[in-house]
Structure 1
Amino acid sequence: MPKLEVFDPALCCATGVCGVDVDPALAQFAADLKWLEAHGVTVERHNLGQDPAAFATNPRVLALLQQGNDRLPAVFLDGELLASGAYPDRHALAAKLGLTDVSATDAPASGTCCAAQPAAVQGKSCC
């Protein structure tokens, strides 16, 4: 099973999909990660503001951070750098993973900040 690891810059919550002014790119990326999980991909997401130890213990992420904070987000597929400095879109993720069903029918939820977050944090304040 492929493993995708995302190292986000410091965000207000686990996904950055919170508050009243949600970045559409973050909302779309959250939906894309959910889509990948539905296709059997293991996804781990680390937020610099909430999980700094994940950054400090990963030599590849540390090397990127030494080049500048603009290298985040960093996305790794099975330990290899897939993207840095921007979130890859669903088509790029699917191509790298060999997935062909790239339908966008599961658009990101809107309305509440926790709508696109894992069930473990739903119902808690995001920001």
Structure 2
Amino acid sequence: MPVIRVFEPALCCNTGVCGPNIDQELVDFTAAVNALRAQGIDVQRANLATEPAQFAEHPVVAQFLQTAGSEGLPLTLVDDVTVLTGRHPRRDELERYAGLTPAQDSQCCNPAAGQSTSDACCNPQPITLMTSTSCCSSNSAAEAPSAGCCGQASSTGCC
């Protein structure tokens, strides 16, 4: 199985919810990483502010920093091959890098009849609050799932 490593710029925290402004890209990336890790995928993150030695000790990363500087981060490697620079990978990209297909994604639900995958809860778009109109909730109160589809740690289909 491939090893995915993401070398990130200096961040105060890796969740994206520190300080007064929320970094939605980072929130989505963190959720995607957690979902893949829950499936046994090896996704590693290194923060330039807290783990500078990992950047200096990795030849591909050190060369990248000499060429592009820290402004070029994040840098995503799959088995030590550069696959993406300048932004965090989306969940669908991480799944592709890991060799997953949608059917292998145990946290992705199957869309209901007549519903497109972009409307299903497996949509790799930014995380949104679930409401009574979504395929994942019969509750009228909107609440964010804690993991996977509908907040379940593992889901084989839509809730």
Partner of 1:50, secondary structure, is: coil
Partner of 2:27, secondary structure, is: helix
**1:35-54 deviation digits (Å, cap 9, x = unpaired):** 11122211211110111111
The equivalent of 1:26 in structure 2 is 26
Answer yes or no: is the 8 Å Cα contact 2:2–2:97 preserved in 1.
Answer: no
Q: CA deviation at 1:96?
A: 2.6
In the alignment, structure 1 segments of 5+ residues that lack a partner are 110-114, 116-127
How far apart, in 2, do the equivalents of 1:16 and 1:58 lie?
A: 25
* Root-mean-square deviation over aligned CA pairs: 2.6
Q: Which runs of 4+ in 1 moved over 3 A?
A: 14-17, 104-109
Report the number of matched residues: 111
Task: Find the structure with the greater CA-based Rg.
Answer: 2
Alignment of 1:20-99 (within 5 A): 20-67=20-67, 68-99=69-100
The equivalent of 1:107 in structure 2 is 127
Change in 2 beyond 3 A, CA 1:17/1:104: farther
Answer yes or no: is the 8 Å Cα contact 1:3–1:43 preserved in 2.
Answer: yes
How far apart, in 1, do the equivalents of 2:128 and 2:42 lie?
A: 19
Q: Does 5-14 or 88-97 show the bigger shift? A: 88-97
Partner of 1:44, secondary structure, is: strand
> So what's the TM-score if we normalise by structure 1?
0.74
- Residue identity over aligned pairs, in percent, reads 40
In the alignment, structure 2 segments of 5+ residues that lack a partner are 103-107, 109-121, 130-145, 147-159
How far apart, in 2, do the equivalents of 1:2 and 1:108 lie?
A: 29
How far apart, in 1, do the equivalents of 2:54 and 2:16 lie?
A: 17
Which structure is higher in RCO with an 8 Å CA cutoff and minimum separation 6? 1
Answer yes or no: is the 8 Å Cα contact 2:76–2:85 preserved in 1.
Answer: yes
> So what's the TM-score if we normalise by structure 2?
0.61
Change in 2 beyond 3 A, CA 1:108/1:57: farther
